[in-house]
Amino acid sequence: MLSDKEKLETYLRGNGQTTYIRLQWIDFSGILRARFVPVSRCLQIAEGNEEYIIPQVSMIIPVSTAPQCFPTSNDLEVWVLRPDWSSLRICGFRQSNASVMCCLEHKGAEEIFNQCPRMLLSRALERFEGGWDTRVLAGFEIEVMLLGEDSQPINQLDRLNSYQTTAGLRGQTMDIVEQILRCLTASSINIHHFHTETHDQIEFALGPEPLLDAIDSLILAQETIRTVFVRHNIKATMTPKPLLDGPTNGIHLHMSVDELAPPHTDHFLAGILNHMGSLCAFGMANFDGYVRTDKDAAGAWIGFGTENRDLPVRKISEQHWEFRMLDSTSNPYLFAGTVLLAGLSGLRENTNLAWEDCHVFPHSLTETERVKYGLNNKMPNSLQEALDSLKTDLFMNAWIPQALLDSYIPVKEKEVEVFRKMTDDQRRLRFLEYF
């Protein structure tokens, strides 16, 4: 095993052009935050000669009130970024920069990593992969809408106009996409495919990787897409509701557990479906995300179906699912970690899969037909409803550190309080600033 210093020095030997490293983390609002640090100082951090301290509010700034935040404690706290130097990657869009994802340490706390989403996922992976002798692979689909400087669709001759067409990819947009793909390759991110979605919308699908690496790739891919488009005066937004009346954006998590076999896969899926309300509080993690609890997005009913995109879980094989209850306002480490914990609850308890594989569009079914498939409960229709599910979910409250919940839930409740007082367009413009 290489030391932190050896990992960084090995990277620098192959990437001598690097002058700054972005120490990055995702806060509870799903926002990528970064400190830009010279290589010489990073070497001191990797050697253990320096700690990189950040403000105690660095995880708890609501989108609705930023930069104002609301600490839950009056005690002075010391927070330290702990880079995972194995996550170092070149920023393909700016090759003098590299990025490294960090864990957050609360110095002096009884459990110093209890509020760190990346650590929650790492520990969930250890429990799952170690306890069940399997490996979790993942990849993400990223839906992106292209807007102009006025936050409206671009008036261009070759317009993205429909699902899986070449229209919109005959001119400048395709040139920009190819720049993005070159940047992703430079950052060691594999593209699975890309295609047009609907009016002014495009989707990028990333190739499979081990789950933690896949989330690191997702974060760097999102930043790459945004950066390259903005250089052409185009805003590539991933916010769930980019227009008052138009397409919605989601992020879809593909997850496979190839060594897990039936009936364990059914127990795993049952655990996830049983805790769907709580998972939505982490996956669709802000006020306007629930515009997607409808057909052809995250789905209106809790359930699953083979190749069914009108439910929150699309089954692809016995060991591979697509989880659709996710958008760009989430902290993806936190969402993926809670999905694994929910699946573990099903495995531990041999939970019966009370749902049938639904092969039809749920909105076309009568109530009697829905009952046949176990589609008895609707998805949450608001962030507050999802938070209420989370607060009463005994399993989630037992497995997620209380300190994390005590910080996360107030941030989200502040979003509900403030955003519900805004007009739809005020919220839309605020989300466009960040996502």
As annotated, the residues of the chain forming the CATH 3.30.590.10 domain(s) are 124-433
Mean pLDDT value of segment 278-284: 98
| pLDDT surpassing 80 at residue 398 | yes
Helix (H) or strand (E) run with residue 411 in it: helix 402-419
| CA atoms within 13 Å, Cβ hemisphere of 28 | 27
Cα–Cα distance, 354 to 377 (Å, whole number): 12
As annotated, the residues of the chain forming the CATH 3.10.20.70 domain(s) are 4-113
Structure tokens at 125: 């992976």
The architecture (CATH level 2) of 124-433 comes to 2-Layer Sandwich (3.30)
Cα–Cα distance, 38 to 326 (Å, whole number): 34
| pLDDT surpassing 90 at residue 28 | yes
Cα–Cα distance, 139 to 248 (Å, whole number): 20
Q: What is the pLDDT of residue 295?
A: 76
Structure tokens at 281: 């509080």
- Give me the long-range contacts of 172-177 (CB less than 8 A, separation at least 24): 172/232, 173/146, 173/202, 176/228, 176/229, 176/232, 176/234, 177/202
Structure tokens at 86: 């194995």
| pLDDT surpassing 90 at residue 73 | no
pTM: 0.96
The percentage of the chain sitting over the pLDDT mark of 70, rounded to a whole number, equals 100
The number of angstroms, rounded, from the C-alpha of 246 to the middle of its chain's C-alpha atoms is 22
Across all residues in the chain, what is the average pLDDT?
95
Q: What is the pLDDT of residue 296?
A: 76
Q: What is the pLDDT of residue 72?
A: 77
- Residue-wise pLDDT tens digits, 291-301: 999 877 899 99
- Residue-wise pLDDT tens digits, 318-370: 999 999 999 999 999 999 999 999 999 999 999 999 999 999 999 999 999 99
Q: What is the pLDDT of residue 156?
A: 87
- Residue-wise pLDDT tens digits, 117-139: 999 999 999 999 999 999 999 99
Cα–Cα distance, 330 to 27 (Å, whole number): 9
| pLDDT surpassing 80 at residue 150 | yes
Task: For domain 4-113, give the CATH number.
Answer: 3.10.20.70
Confidence grade of residue 45 (pLDDT, cut at 50, 70, 90): very high
Mean pLDDT value of segment 228-244: 97
